[in-house]
Every structure is written in C-alpha cells, then in structure tokens.
Structure 1
Amino acid sequence: MKDQTPSKILFTVDKKYLSIFFPVLQQGFKVSARFGCSLKSMLCDQFGITPEYLSDRIKTIFLNGKPVDDPETAIIYDNAVLALSAAMPGLVGATFRSQGPLSIFRSSITHRNKEEKSEIPGKGMLTLKFFNLLVPEMGPAFLERGIWLKTGIIKNLIEEKKADLDTFFKSIIINGQKTGADELTSLKWNDNMELIQVAVKTGKEISPEL
C-alpha cells in the first residue's frame, strides 16, 4: 500500500474526534455542484440546507470575496468561492451581515451579478469555507458526503496528527483498500495531483467495498 498514490481516502472516526478535520473546512474545500443557479437554490436544493437555517443561522455570506445581501438573486458559476459564517460579533460583523442595517456602508463592495456573464448552466466545482459555529453544525454532513482537498492540506493534517492516528481512526480505506495508520504516514504522494477525494464517516468501521 505504501507505494500506491492515494486519490481517494475514507476515514472512519469516533464522533468525538471529528473535530480534527474542522480546520480544513475553514481553509477551503471543493465540492461538485450544478451551477448557473441562485445561491439559495444551490444551498437548499443541492446541499439540503433548510431555508430556515439559511435565513436564521447563516448571517454572513461572501461570494468570490464580496459580501452577499440576497442569496435568492446571487448567481453561482463554476469555480466560485463561497464563504459562510454565522453572526460575527462587533461592528465588522454587523457591517458584513446579509441585509443587516449597516450593509449600506459597504455597498461599493457588495456582490452584484455581472450582466455580461453568459456561462451555460452545468456541473462543476465550488470552493466552500465555513467559519465559527457553522463549522461543527454544517461540516459533518459535508465530510460524510465527501469533499475534495488539496494534496498539501491532507498531507499536512496527517503529518500533524501522526502520533495519534491509531487513536483517531477506526479504519482507513485508500483507493478501496483497507490500510493501517502506520502505512498512512508512509504513503507515496503525487505532489502534481491537485485534489484528493476525502470522506469522513463516524460510528462503526466501514468495509472497503463502501
């Protein structure tokens, strides 16, 4: 196994150790999605987020680095970068809050759809970032569904946690083959491979066939 280049890794962890993956959710991860639709449609129809959670819990939204006021009108295109956060404290949090009373003060940088954008709707990749309370609330469902991470991110995570891998992971399946924690640390990585598919399940050990 150590000579095999990983392209897909499935971890099974005890729920109490799931938080070791939370930092990567803030760094940014990729998911496949249908684009050419509204931000609200993508979050609710594709990712299963309820409209109530979107309106009541997700208070700050950045699309390609610009704050979004109305997720129903903001259109998502391929390779977009979407950052989501619960309410942030202080004046900065109030200013960037979607449709907040102080949003007028950042009107010059607020996201607006580009009329000249004529990309045909289809399937592509979206970069997501979660912050503060949304990390433990939304993160587990995305980790279980499967995400794509940059090779360097998952390599660094394994290196940082290598002393405790046997404690954290109930099972590790790489490219459909079950392996041990010691082999995980000695994998041959392909640094030219931009993304690796990673899924994290909680609970009992999962068979390699899944």
Structure 2
Amino acid sequence: MSEMIRIELPLRPAVVARWSACAQKGMAIPCRIGESLADILTKQLGMDAQYLETVVRTVFHNSSPVDSLDTIMVADGDMIALAGAMPGLVGIAMGRNSPVGGFRSDISNHSMDVVDAGKGRITIKAFNVVVPELVRLALGHGVFVEAELALELLQDAVGSTDDKGPGVLERIGQMRGEVLLGVDWQQT
C-alpha cells in the first residue's frame, strides 16, 4: 500500500465543497476488510454512531439496499453508497428498516458472508446531506486519488494554515498515478 501524504487544510465549507464531486463519484479508502459495515464506518472512518443511525438513512452495499449495517461483512473492492432520507415511495422503500422495505426484499443485501480479514480498499459514495461529513471523514482517514486531481483540488485550499503545504503540493505535482492523501483538518 502507498505511503500516505498528509496535508493540513482549513475546515471550511468551501474547502469541503471542492471535494463534493469526488464523494459523489466515490472515494477509495484503505481499510481493514472482513469487518462489518457498521465497524468500518464508525471505528475505522470515525463516523459518529448517532449520526449514522439518524442521518444516514439510505445505504447500499454493492448496489443492493441494506437494513442492518452489522450483518454486512465488507470485502476488498466493495462499493458502499450512503445518503440521507430519499424522497418519494422508492426513496422510502430503499431506506434502512423502512416499513415498506418488503417491496425490495428480492434486491436487499442480508449477507453475513464470511470475509477474510486483512488490508484492502473500498469505495464509498455519498449523496445529499451526507456529502460534507463523508468528505471530512474520508479525507481525514486517507483516500486514494489521482495525483493530478489531488493537486487541482488542493491548490486554492493550501495556504496560511500549513507552512509545509506548498512543499506537499510540489511533491504531489511530481507524482504520477494514484496517491494516498490524508488531511489534518484545522479549525478556522
């Protein structure tokens, strides 16, 4: 696995917003696989359990809706999508533990498959109200991103909070392909 490049960034809405499109397309993160989706989100990524329960109402694992985050064992290469409550009947049916979830029972993921534990990577997508929180947590944890895209997204944000920032940007600018980038958020 790549060595992580860490950079300090101000925790401001404009900085987080620059990464929103990445969150919607999917952010690849390193993680310990073979653990439950709940554990990956709360223990590894650092998402607050109360936030996960009350705000993240729609969860997909490999394109299938999920009710119980504790029963889904995450494997290398899995795709996770997170969102707040979705509108309409379909949105209600796709939500976790929905009273009309029976409409989607054929496509729901109830997996308790055993997955070998180890190091891996998963891709997490976020939509609607979950985007800013995923950006903050995923970048704090570390994400795999193309060096050119990382440089583009970091250019305007690096400045007064990190005297090493310009050096980090220069280092990223010399890299090709994918880098593992982590952010140390600075309160402003």
For normalisation by structure 2, the TM-score amounts to: 0.79
Contact in 1 for aligned 2:143/2:180 (Cα 8 Å) = yes
Residue correspondence of structure 1 range 38-187 to structure 2 within 5 A: 38-113=36-111, 119-151=115-147, 154=149, 158=152, 165=155, 167-170=156-159, 173=165, 177-179=167-169, 187=173
Cα distance in 2 between the residues matched to 1:40 and 1:9 = 26
Q: CA deviation at 1:114?
A: 6.7
Contact in 2 for aligned 1:10/1:199 (Cα 8 Å) = yes
Cα distance in 2 between the residues matched to 1:178 and 1:114 = 42
**Partner in structure 2 of residue 198 of structure 1:** 181
Q: CA deviation at 1:51?
A: 2.6
Instruction: Could you tell me which runs of 5 or more consecutive residues in structure 2 were left unpaired when the two chains were aligned.
Output: none
Give aligned pairs, total. Answer: 180
Partner amino acid, structure 1, of 2:119: K
* Cα RMSD after superposing both structures: 2.9
Q: CA deviation at 1:97?
A: 0.3
Contact in 2 for aligned 1:13/1:200 (Cα 8 Å) = no
Contact in 2 for aligned 1:15/1:202 (Cα 8 Å) = no
Q: CA deviation at 1:124?
A: 1.0
Cα distance in 1 between the residues matched to 2:42 and 2:13 = 28
Cα distance in 2 between the residues matched to 1:46 and 1:203 = 20
Q: CA deviation at 1:101?
A: 1.4
**Partner in structure 1 of residue 34 of structure 2:** 36
Instruction: Could you tell me which runs of 5 or more consecutive residues in structure 1 were left unpaired when the two chains were aligned.
Output: 1-6, 205-210
Partner amino acid, structure 2, of 1:93: G
Partner amino acid, structure 2, of 1:76: V
Contact in 1 for aligned 2:25/2:125 (Cα 8 Å) = yes
- 1:109 alignment partner, SS class: coil
Cα distance in 1 between the residues matched to 2:181 and 2:24 = 15
* 1:26-66 deviation line (CA, Å, top 9, x unaligned): 11111121121221122222222233222211100000111
Seq. identity, %:
26
Partner amino acid, structure 1, of 2:86: M
Change in 2 beyond 3 A, CA 1:140/1:111: same
Cα distance in 1 between the residues matched to 2:36 and 2:85 = 22
For normalisation by structure 1, the TM-score amounts to: 0.72
Contact in 2 for aligned 1:86/1:134 (Cα 8 Å) = yes
Cα distance in 2 between the residues matched to 1:47 and 1:101 = 29
